[in-house]
Chains A and B, each alone.
Chain A
Amino acid sequence: MTKKLIVIGAGMASGRALEHLFDAGGDYDVTLFNAEPRGNYNRIMLSPVLAGDQTYEEIVTHDDAWYAEHNVTCRFGEAITRIDRDKKTVTAANGDVLPYDKLLFGTGSNPFIIPLPGHDLEGVIAYRDLDDTERMMAMGPDNKVVVIGGGLLGLEAAAGMAARGADVTVVHIMGHLMERQLDEAAGYLLRKALVDKGITVLCQANSKEIVGDNGHVKALILDDGTALPCDLLVMAVGIRPNVALAQDAGLAVGKGIHVDDQMLTSDEHVLAVGECVEHDGAVFGLVAPLYDQAKVVAKTLMGEQGAFIQKELSTKLKVTGCDLFSAGDFADGDGREDIVFRDPARGVYRRLVIKNNVVIGAVMYGDTTDSNWFFGLIKDKADISDMRDTLIFGPAYQGGTPLDPLAAVAALPPEAEICGCNGICKGDIEEAITAGATDLGAIKATTKASASCGTCTGLVEQVLAVTLGDDFTVPTTQSICGCTDMTHEDVRRMIKSQKLTSMAAVWQECGWKTSCGCHVCRPALNFYLLADWPLEYQDDPQSRFINERKHANIQKDGTFSVVPRMWGGITTPNELRAIADAADKYMVPTVKVTGGQRIDLLGVKSEDLPDIWADLNAAGMVSGHAYSKGLRTVKTCVGTDHCRFGTQDSTGLGIKLEKELWGSWTPHKLKLAVSGCPRNCAEATCKDIGVVCVDSGFQVSIGGAAGMDVKETELLVQIPTEEEAVLVIKAVTQLYRENARYLDRIYKWMGKVGLDWIRERIVEDLDERAELVARFELSQSIYRKDPWAEHANTKADRYRPLANLALEAAE
């Protein structure tokens, strides 16, 4: 006897299940309900429709003729309002009551709408069905669109509308795009490609509210106050299984409708398939597992044995020109290793995650031709130990070529600047090589490249190697760390000349061999990026040593020391009282006077730091940066205020300098001193930068040291006015920031570039001095602020334990 099957929802999964059922000769009388007023179409092809690559007609999977041929009663545009499982009936919206033998849920999912103020305005849509797609297709050249969500769907929507000429901005809350499928490096390449398509991409951007005008969306406001005007706002932030009807019917429901391996719900006469189900804790958004489920549904309906098994999934983005692939598991597991390959020349990134000689995950960007091969290795759990060394190059290269360490330099365009001092581009050097200059000396002589500060020597040698091939051997130089073959100087020049403004950009364009660097390169890169791109780059606390991350010096027992700033070594009774009170309140075991003319509170617990800072802030004190590779102290003597030998106001100049320079980050710590006369009571001539006042002005000298090495400063310039002295010191600080290797004090840097090179830029070339001062000021507009106040106000939680399990575990 023919049985009655009622299907709720005409989606891809239920459609496929019906195909399998009819192919197997299933004897069912099928009624198909669909809330959308149309039949089954290939929802994942909406993106090509949006982009104009396909039409709706081309993505229809089942037309009227197909439904007629299989005697499917179609009730499109009609919803089911009630299910009576005892009587085995469903009630349609118009009141019809229909009996069933078997019921199949294919209710799919609902797009998640963030309940921001204004989310119900006209012009705020999700990206889910053909109606949404048609709204987006109407966004022509003069329209502004904001897409919230930088995942698969959001980016496809953004690219589709950008292709139609709309002005599109993507707002993504995470640090990089598609963070579920991609790592940071691939996310960086993807972002670059989208920006090239004219799409504005904002990451780490938190939406606050949607504002409207006459009930229609006008702009999205971010929590930093930025307003993004828009005519259409698309929310593509995820989907939620549509379980409302199943829940009302009393079926077991979690995140989705619970099903077993046979796709049966908690009621043996009711099945579910597709995005609405939850199987073994997982819900499904990609098409491959839905099709597997559809096969099982047909088998179960036929009374045959079938079982749905979850398999590895892969993702591809359907955006023309963005070739990316992601598969397998990056989320958890022990004993995993990475193999990373980067080809900056072609914008290629590949990463394999390996566990027990089996590939368990793969991310590819730029060249995904081998993705099926890698996906096969993941699915088959193939043992890769025999081809491990060449695995990353793909199937064609088994036993093949080694990675070219010079690829990054080979990739540079001819106009890329190699020597910043002399303005020499890669093309100039190549011309010189063609003209017969085949070693470093000849290049220096003919082009002046690397003939000044010398920091680009490594890059010049690599241009020689790339151009001459085997005829030139690069002298071995020391790379930053095991993550790269490049030296500090090479990487710095790449950061400047290629305008690399993020950590991920450096890793990719310089061919880093690890996925996210190490404790040696990350702090160096963080400094280089913030020094060269103060506005574009955002300081990364996780790439800083603990002292700079927590703005306090760690001690051997894990406690910290706290040193408030005393400008020029001057304090007041009130400040001293506040320090004494803080020492009492937080039971500070040791209070010490430092060599930099201030007071150190040693032995403060991490969790007390925000509170003690808040107390010191309240008394008007700020961080002394006693922990930083940055400005520490400006030591002074009392000068003309009190001393009978004083020639100038050394204390006043010291305070002025400290107020101008504080908060700035430098390659290593920076200590200054100002002495009021040549008796030099402030010991200015063993500081990084020292000023000795004389009757006729100020002697500014640099490159002193009184640590592992003891060095006397060398005179940079004697200058008549205090204002000029301040400018010279700002300029030399900036020159040091822009050129020195990370962790080189000024004397080490001076030993490499020479005092004359510095003097040419600071003393002889007044334009360059002014430019250096301007760049220093620009950076200080970001960094001249008290980190204590900021952390005490907004990050105090991070200083406290995440949890206290003392009671829990002691039970």
Chain B
Amino acid sequence: MSVWIDIGALEDVPLRGARMIKTPMGCVAVFRTSENEVFALDNACPHKAGPLAEGIVHGKSVTCPLHNWVISLETGEAQGADEGRVATYQARVENERILLDRAFLRARVAA
């Protein structure tokens, strides 16, 4: 069963923006789309490990700030001609709070 960890208020992540959270194995980027959906991905572009949390969020994608790779927030897949994928984690919003699935974060430590 999922154990959800409250990581912060939805309003602390800018609309069409992202914030970073620290974990022992590196950073996870938490995105908020214009529709107030949240997504959590590894904060490292599959290309040159660019910090995705600093990218421009559009639709359900983020553009890496280093070399403009476009990454799907839903699947973590690089879009267009680029190939690569970043890990995604379950995230949801409840009562204006952002929750992440603890099991996923743990799986990540084990991996």
Asked if A pairs with B, the answer is yes
Q: Which single residue of chain B is at the shortest CB-CB distance from A804?
A: B22
Given A332-B93, A545-B65, A809-B24, verify A802-B13 contact (CB < 8 Å): yes
Q: Which single residue of chain A is at the shortest CB-CB distance from B50?
A: A558
A376 at the binding interface (Cβ < 8 Å): no
- Contact: A805 with B14, CB < 8 Å? no
A95 at the binding interface (Cβ < 8 Å): no
B17 at the binding interface (Cβ < 8 Å): yes
Chain A residues whose C-beta falls within 8 Å of the C-beta of B54 in the assembled complex: 546, 549-550, 554, 558
**B84-111 at interface with A (beta carbon < 8 Å):** 92-93, 98, 100, 102, 105-106, 108-109
Q: Bound state CA distance, A24 and B59, in angstroms? A: 50
- Contact: B17 with A542, CB < 8 Å? yes
Chain B residues whose C-beta falls within 8 Å of the C-beta of A516 in the assembled complex: 16, 34, 58-59
Given A516-B58, A517-B58, A554-B54, verify A809-B109 contact (CB < 8 Å): yes
B12 at the binding interface (Cβ < 8 Å): yes
- Contact: B56 with A545, CB < 8 Å? yes
A577 at the binding interface (Cβ < 8 Å): no
Chain A residues whose C-beta falls within 8 Å of the C-beta of B106 in the assembled complex: 809
Partner of B19, one of A330, A518, A549, A802: A802
Min CB–CB distance B20 → chain A (angstroms): 5
Min CB–CB distance B97 → chain A (angstroms): 11
- Contact: B20 with A802, CB < 8 Å? yes
Given A184-B34, A808-B102, verify A519-B20 contact (CB < 8 Å): no
Chain A residues whose C-beta falls within 8 Å of the C-beta of B24 in the assembled complex: 806, 809-810
- Contact: A519 with B70, CB < 8 Å? yes
Interface string of B1-39 (1 = CB under 8 A from A): 000010110001111110111111101001000111100
Q: Chain B binding site: helix, strand, loop or mixed by DSSP?
A: mixed
A541 at the binding interface (Cβ < 8 Å): yes
Chain A residues whose C-beta falls within 8 Å of the C-beta of B16 in the assembled complex: 516, 542-543
Contact residues of B with A, CB < 8 Å?
A: 5, 7-8, 12-17, 19-25, 27, 30, 34-37, 48-51, 54-61, 63, 65-66, 68, 70, 74-75, 92-93, 98, 100, 102, 105-106, 108-109
A798 at the binding interface (Cβ < 8 Å): yes
- Contact: B65 with A546, CB < 8 Å? yes
Interface centre among A334, A336, A514, A606 (most CB of B within 10 A): A334
- Contact: A518 with B59, CB < 8 Å? yes
Interface residues on A, range: 35 or more
The 3 lowest CB-CB distance pairs between A and B, nearest first, are: A519-B63, A802-B19, A546-B65
- Contact: A518 with B58, CB < 8 Å? yes
- Contact: A331 with B5, CB < 8 Å? no
Q: Which single residue of chain A is at the shortest CB-CB distance from B62?
A: A519
- Contact: B58 with A519, CB < 8 Å? yes
Q: Bound state CA distance, A546 and B65, in angstroms? A: 6
Chain A residues whose C-beta falls within 8 Å of the C-beta of B109 in the assembled complex: 809-810
Partner of A809, one of B34, B57, B61, B102: B102
Q: Bound state CA distance, A518 and B48, in angstroms? A: 21
- Contact: B105 with A809, CB < 8 Å? yes
Partner of A522, one of B5, B8, B58, B66: B58
Given A516-B16, A805-B7, A809-B24, verify A542-B57 contact (CB < 8 Å): yes
- Contact: A806 with B22, CB < 8 Å? yes
- Contact: A805 with B105, CB < 8 Å? yes
Q: Which single residue of chain B is at the shortest CB-CB distance from A811?
A: B106
- Contact: A543 with B56, CB < 8 Å? yes
Q: Bound state CA distance, A330 and B12, in angstroms? A: 20
Of the A-B pairs whose beta carbons lie under 8 Å apart in the complex, a sample of 15, sorted by A's number, is A175-B15, A183-B35, A332-B92, A334-B75, A518-B56, A518-B63, A522-B56, A523-B56, A542-B15, A546-B55, A554-B66, A558-B54, A798-B14, A805-B105, A809-B106
Partner of A515, one of B48, B59, B92, B93: B59
Chain B residues whose C-beta falls within 8 Å of the C-beta of A331 in the assembled complex: 35-37, 93
Q: Bound state CA distance, A808 and B106, in angstroms? A: 9
Q: Which single residue of chain A is at the shortest CB-CB distance from B44?
A: A558
A335 at the binding interface (Cβ < 8 Å): yes
Min CB–CB distance B109 → chain A (angstroms): 6
Q: Which single residue of chain B is at the shortest CB-CB distance from A547?
A: B65
Chain B residues whose C-beta falls within 8 Å of the C-beta of A183 in the assembled complex: 34-35
Chain B residues whose C-beta falls within 8 Å of the C-beta of A333 in the assembled complex: 37
- Contact: A558 with B19, CB < 8 Å? no
A573 at the binding interface (Cβ < 8 Å): no
A260 at the binding interface (Cβ < 8 Å): no
Q: Bound state CA distance, A95 and B21, in angstroms? A: 58
- Contact: A542 with B23, CB < 8 Å? no
Q: Bound state CA distance, A769 and B74, in angstroms? A: 51
A556 at the binding interface (Cβ < 8 Å): yes
A797 at the binding interface (Cβ < 8 Å): yes
Chain B residues whose C-beta falls within 8 Å of the C-beta of A805 in the assembled complex: 5, 7, 21-23, 100, 105
- Contact: B14 with A542, CB < 8 Å? yes
A595 at the binding interface (Cβ < 8 Å): no
- Contact: B55 with A801, CB < 8 Å? no
Chain B residues whose C-beta falls within 8 Å of the C-beta of A810 in the assembled complex: 24, 109
**A155-188 at interface with B (beta carbon < 8 Å):** 175, 183-184
Q: Bound state CA distance, A516 and B30, in angstroms? A: 19
A803 at the binding interface (Cβ < 8 Å): yes
